[in-house]
Amino acid sequence: MILDLTDDTVLHELWTVQRLAYAVEAELIGFDGIPPLHESPDELRACGETFLGLYDEEGLVGAVSYVLDGSTVDIHRLVVHPRAHRRGIATKLLDALPAGPQLVSTGTRNEPALQLYRKRGFVETGTHEVAPGVSLTNLSRP
């Protein structure tokens, strides 16, 4: 389902899940400078990305955001609440994205994310350093 970030309740749920998810990634990669980890709710609301979310009986469990560049789906965020890890949430979110070529990047030391993307048909296209000793791996799938 598309998340409506003009709704303050939805925005707060997404902001909370995002902070929790990126805190896990920060620990995995040893770097807490991940921009969305420090984003305010107003910055999140204004990001210009389309968000799809999944809910369970306790609330929002995950979301994926993207921007369309022609027919290419540029995935900007994929977050899953830590209480819902290993339940297939990220896979369902990736499968809900629009059809077309897809691009994504994740922390090179974030092995769970890299494994997920590889299992979903993404291939690594390169890496780039974002801070001393910290790099992102770029991936794509047709």
pLDDT tens readout for residues 25-51: 999 898 999 999 999 999 999 999 999
Structural domain tally of the chain? 1
CB-based contact 127:136 (threshold 8 Å) = yes
Which DSSP string corresponds to 4-52?
A: -TTSHHHHHHHHHHHHHHHHHHHHHHT----GGGG--HHHHHTS--EEE
Q: Range of 35's domain?
A: 8-141
Q: Give residue-wise pLDDT tens across range 104-118.
A: 999 999 999 999 999
Q: Confirm whether 3 is domain-assigned.
A: no
Q: Confirm whether 44 is domain-assigned.
A: yes
Beta-carbon contacts of 114 under 8 Å, excluding residues fewer than 6 positions away, are 106, 108, 124, 137, 139
Q: Is the pTM for the entire model greater than 0.85?
A: yes
User: Under DSSP, is residue 119 helix (H, G, I), strand (E, B) or coil?
Assistant: helix
